[in-house]
Chains A and B, each alone.
Chain A
Amino acid sequence: MISLAGRDILHSWGKFVLTGVGLGLLIGATLTMAGVYRGMVDDARVLLTNSGADIWVVQKDTQGPYAEASSIRDDVYRGLLGMPGVAQAANVTYLTMQVRHGVRESRTMVVGFEPGQPGEPGYLVAGRRLLRGHFEAIADVKTGFKIGERIRIRRHDYEVVGLTRRMVSSGGDPMVFIPLKDAQEAQFLKDNDAIVADRARTAANPALNRPGVPGLLDAVTASQTINHSVNAVLVKVGVGDTAASVAQEIRRWKHVQAYTREQMEEILIEKLVATSAKQIGMFLAILTVVSAAIVAFIIYTMTLGKIREIAVLKLIGTRNRTIAGMILQQALGLGLIGFIVGKISATLWAPAFPKYVLLETADAMRALVIVMVVCALASTLAIRAALKVDPATAIGG
């Protein structure tokens, strides 16, 4: 028996392929939405991996610097280094802000770190590591900055000396790494008017401006412009120790919160990305329904266009099963064309997205199954219409 569906598709392949391309672009958009979610999750994991930490020590009763504001003293790390199981401990700051370069601005996450310690970018794709103590920066390639370019962070200019890759915040903003002291200043420094007003207020305070104690006012004023806070301390545990046990000890003896990699991943993915995931899930559901409606409409319209042929087929003895099979195969064929076009288009346009889009083979396979099921379900309307056709309509009168 010949394939009626195959012959029909070959006969009107132009219409079929164009319809498939239209559906494919919609499927491409659906795959991309899934890719955006996967990209967000992957970004979060890469953020944790590239930080080089086993434990994140943050302000007590907070979820850590990626989820909410966290501020701890910058000397906490000294106490941590003395604890059993802690091999390395380093201060880091994180601040999402606009960085100016020329006349343009880029939204970035500025990271303050200490060279050679956890928190340093894992690898460079161009340039070198920071060698000077101030005003040098390493940027993620997604910032668009070039080696040698000067960027402005708050009131200082920084020279981009190195480029790294896949270093983005949980929100997808590319990172700029600068020395810790500069980052602390950028994060906590007040503006000049505020400093002048603070100094005047301090000088007017007789308890702090005592003629009998020379140097007191200068010391108090200096302390107001120096900041001793960081957002987190990144800890690497020693060989033979587990992050969970060391974190447990830190929580017991210090007035801080300590998260292991698994706990931090849970915060990032299940709390931070969760809302975005629900948002994307809603889009995916809507796109699936729209795709189903389109396939149903197209197959139904195509079937209505063949009512007379279907009546003739039924009159000359074609079984309902054969006719239903023809329509089902056409719907599946349309879905297959749509999926192929969608996969190719998603693969082509994904790199152009500002945020990382991760297209996973498993997602594509899942999408193929869903597309096929949706197409099969969508064809039922057309199959019902075809099976209702009375063969008597082929005979005039």
Chain B
Amino acid sequence: MDDGIHIEGLSKRYGEGDTAVEALKDVNMRIAPGEVVGLVGPSGSGKTTLLKCLGAVIEPTRGRMTLGGEVIYDSEQGGWKTPDLRALRRDRIGFIFQAPYLIPFLDVTDNVALLPMLAGRANGASRARALELLQALDVAHRAKAQPSELSGGEQQRVSIARALANQPPVILADEPTAPLDSERALAVVRILNQMASQYQTAIIVVTHDEKIIPTFKRIYHIRDGRTVEEAGEGREIS
């Protein structure tokens, strides 16, 4: 049983013939439920391509991906296991972006409740779930506020709550601390660790933020489309 994230031999090639570019080359990763790992690498190394493959936004060329114990992609067996990638993203993958990208015309509660609603849950139950997450992330007092009324840190916490709303086994965080100062960046990492532990979610944090790299226990370095795993410092965040 492969809970969390398990990637085997993942490759992605853009283009054909002489102009083909191999963005990912035989990538292997394994992240356990409740674990937060860093994915670091220079620009153009393949971080975003890996994230897009994991996020079921683009199709890999080769390999196998398992999320929460379920194979979602296997090139040997016809590619994607489900034709409805939208539902796959909605129900099984949480996204956190560099900027929070909250929906500006929904209040904080509905920004978080939108995902369960899209999954077909009743409005009341969805909002109750949203409030529960907002409390866990210490932003429940801003539940009725509009996104534009929140600070950068509050917005990012709301976006984390949104990523957790449908209890996905996996969260993909794309440079979530980039616009934040050191204190707020470390606070976000602390929250991600708490949430991963509390909800048994595997979290991949794509970053080249030097402030937070030492906090990861495991780090995947990606260069020229290949990953190398190394142990991180796992520094405590005070």
Chain A positions near chain B (C-beta within 8 angstroms): 1-2, 4, 7-8, 10-12, 308-309, 312-319, 322, 390-392, 394-397
Contacts and interface: CB of A to CB of B under 8 A. Distances in A.
B101 interface: yes
B216 interface: no
A395 B48 contact: yes
B147 to A, nearest CB: 10
- The winner among A322, A394, A397 for most chain B CB atoms within 10 A is A397
Contacts of A313: 103
A329 B90 CA distance: 24
A78 B129 CA distance: 95
Smallest CB-CB A-B distances: 7 pairs: A317-B90, A397-B48, A11-B105, A8-B105, A392-B57, A312-B101, A7-B105
Contact of A11 (B52, B123, B146): B146
A12 B86 contact: no
A10 B105 contact: yes
Contact of A309 (B87, B103, B174): B103
A317 B123 contact: no
A397 B58 CA distance: 14
B57 A315 contact: yes
Nearest to B120: A1
A387 to B, nearest CB: 13
A391 B101 CA distance: 13
B212 interface: no
Nearest to B172: A395
Contact of A1 (B97, B98, B123): B123
B104 interface: yes
The majority secondary structure among interface residues of chain A is helix
Interface residues of B, number: 33
Interface in B18-52: 47-49, 51-52
Interface in B149-185: 162, 174-175
Contacts of B117: 1-2
Interface string B97-138: 110010111100010011101110001000000000000000
A371 to B, nearest CB: 24
Given A11-B146, A312-B103, A314-B86, 5 more contacts: A317-B91, A394-B97, A396-B48, A396-B174, A397-B49
B142 interface: no
Contacts of B58: 392
Given A1-B123, A394-B101, A396-B175, A7 B106 contact: yes
A317 B114 CA distance: 10
A390 B51 CA distance: 15
B15 to A, nearest CB: 16
Nearest to B159: A312
Given A2-B106, A317-B118, A392 B52 contact: yes
B95 A316 contact: yes
A255 to B, nearest CB: 78
Contacts of B98: 396
B115 A395 contact: no
Contact of A395 (B51, B90, B118, B146): B51
B13 interface: no
B89 interface: yes
Contacts of A4: 103, 105-106
B60 interface: no
A316 B90 contact: yes
B106 A315 contact: no
A323 to B, nearest CB: 11
Interface string B59-87: 00000000000000000000000000011
B4 interface: no
Contacts of B175: 396
A1 B118 contact: yes
A327 to B, nearest CB: 13
B118 A318 contact: yes
A394 to B, nearest CB: 6
Nearest to B86: A317
Contacts of A314: 86
A64 B174 CA distance: 84
